[in-house]
Amino acid sequence: MKPRLPSREASLAVKALVVADLEGAAGVRSPRECFPNFEEYQAFGLPNMGKDARAAAEGLKAGGADEVVLVDGHFLGQNLLSSGLPDGVRLSKGSLLDELNAGGVGGVFLTGVHGKTGTPNSFASVTFAPFVAARLDGDIIGDTLFLAHLCGSFGVPVLGLSGDWVACEEVQWTLPRVPTAPTKTGFDRASVRHHAPEESRKGLHEVALKAARAAPPRPLKPRRPFRLELSFAEARDAEAAEAACAGHASRKGRVLLHAGSDFVAASEFAARFRRYIYDFMEFPGFPGLPERPCDVAAVPRFFEEARRRGFELAVQMHGSGEIMNPLAVLIGARRTAGFYRAGRYCPDPERYVEWRDDEHEVHRYLRLISRLGIASQGAALEFPLTGSDWTEWTDIGLERDSYAVVHAGAQLASRRWPPERFAAVADALAAEGLQIVLTGTAAERPLVEKVKQAMRSPALELAGLTSPGGLAALVARARLVVANDTGISHIAAAVKAPSVIVASGSDPKRWAPLDRQLHRVLYHDVECRPCGHPACPIGHPCALGVSAEQVIQEALSVAECVA
């Protein structure tokens, strides 16, 4: 009898996953085959990606897997077709994380893998866009090892992989028992020497078959506690990701840090930002820009590489442009666009718009894309929710619209409304029949406990117990959210959950939710707003100027409107 893939529970059927990417697939030889907006993507990229995934699936089936599930791991996850799959092979409707959460997975096979960002001899190398680099406990890792650690967090091993030889070599240094099937050798990011595609797929099929029959390798589990750092090309991208993490990560400039013992929670925000940004070139900094120290030696290489790529358009979105506009021109794109301050250098009056200090951030960027002739898709924010997010919400055991989320935390003390006032609001909402749910990060538990102790009514305390996606699902099904002007405010706006936001120290003209009927923003105007201090040095008048009675009145009004 053939050995079978192990399952985590003996009662579960043996299921193997094939996670398919495109860049490392056999036969893919041009960056244009990797982007949906090029004809080569449909003609060559997709067919080659599908053939690799099918070869792996057929090999796993032949090796003894009861069921094989294909997981689309490229770009938006909408590349593989479900038609024409062999018996016992199906296409997942979710992500790798969804399938792992569902359980019963005996092993994962990766196809189409590629090198990490910055690898000089790897075709189409990129690391989990929109990250410039990912570091786990100080070591730079690419997509492949990141996914191996994620699978290992569920006790699931990587059975084998195929793709660019650089990625295969990276994995074999860490997981020497994992078999690989190289498909190509890159000269640089845009040129490659292929192995014969059909021969590569025969080898891929054989590797998958043998992997299914062999004793599985040990899962790659991250050390606990671990430190995961994600470096972004722009500080604003890191800021958006920090908001999505809802307190589960801290940010310093362009670097987002998650330190803890739950690698699954750390990986959730990695999957949410892949649909918009495909690749990054790491900017080495420049004198006068505060976000990162300038690597002077790397500056000429950056602009040389940018000009070599021959971009059609470079969009400058780094503030008002006094420093960045000349640098945008040096990128060498055929056209540039962005913002300029009145009276300062404007590279192209046709495609640049004037910077306005008091403009809302959403309107600012919509005004820019309008100047570029791009139709607006609306001003609404977005936070995609997955099946695992909804499962987490279901497991909490709450009923939709039966509760209010009270979030007293914020990264800076200058942005926090007093906890006793949150408690007064929570008691008023409880008196109206709503269950009170207190949320926050693990580090904010003492603050959340202060709110709970000041309350007369019972409350469910979830500080540090939700993932970013689980928190977003919790917010999406709440009758109401009461919070400071912090990341959860943007989540509430994105999932269209009614909210009352107290803006202490922040600039509501730039950051408040745009729908002022669904989201009520209260603030006491002071001359020193927006505040640049971590803690207020003058007694916090902006926070104390908003009374609990004002917030209660708005909260009851919003709750009644959406009942």
Q: pTM for the full model?
A: 0.52
Find the range with the poorest average confidence among 115-129, 393-407, 490-504. 115-129
**C-alpha closest to that of 403 among 485, 459, 469, 457:** 459
> How confident is the model over 314-322, as a mean pLDDT?
91
Residue 144's pLDDT band (boundaries 50, 70, 90)?
confident
CA–CA gap between residue 50 and residue 71 (Å, rounded): 11
> What was the pLDDT predicted at 114?
85
* DSSP of 429-472: HHHTTPEEEEE--GGGHHHHHHHHHH-SS--EE-TT-S-HHHHH
Residue 273, pLDDT score: 57
d(CA 334, CA 280): 19
Residue 530: strand, helix, or coil: coil
* Mean of per-residue pLDDT scores for the chain: 84
Q: What are phi and psi of 136, to 5 degrees?
A: -115, 115
User: Does residue 68 sit in helix, strand or coil?
Assistant: strand
- Domains, the chain, ordered by start: 15-126+133-213 (3.40.50.10780), 298-371 (no CATH), 387-562 (3.40.50.2000)
* E strand or H helix that includes residue 61: helix 46-62
Q: What is the pLDDT of residue 422?
A: 97
Instruction: Give the model's confidence band at 7: pLDDT under 50 very low, under 70 low, under 90 confident, else very high.
Output: very low
Sign for the pseudo-dihedral over CA of 542, 356, 486, 323? negative
How far is Cα 556 from Cα 244, in angstroms, rounded to an integer?
27
- The string of pLDDT tens digits covering residues 185-217 is 876 666 667 788 999 999 999 999 999 998 888
User: What secondary structure letter does DSSP report for 45?
Assistant: I
Is residue 231 within 8 Å of 132, Cβ to Cβ? yes
Minimal CA–CA distance to 111: which of 144, 83, 87, 84? 144
Per-residue pLDDT of 105-126, as tens digits, reads 899 999 999 887 666 666 666 6
Confidence of residue 6 (pLDDT cuts 50, 70, 90): very low
CA atoms in the 13 A half-sphere facing the CB of 272: 25
Question: What is the Cα–Cα distance from 161 to 148, expressed in whole angstroms?
Answer: 11
Give yes or no for a contact between 249 and 269, defined as CB atoms under 8 angstroms apart.
yes
> What was the pLDDT predicted at 8?
33
Residue 338: its H or E element: strand 335-340
For residue 379, how many other CB atoms are within 10 A of its CB? 13
Strand order in the sheet with 226-232: 139-141, 131-136, 226-232, 255-260, 250-252
SS3 letters across 392-421 = HHHHHCCCCCCEEEEECCCCCHHHCCCHHH
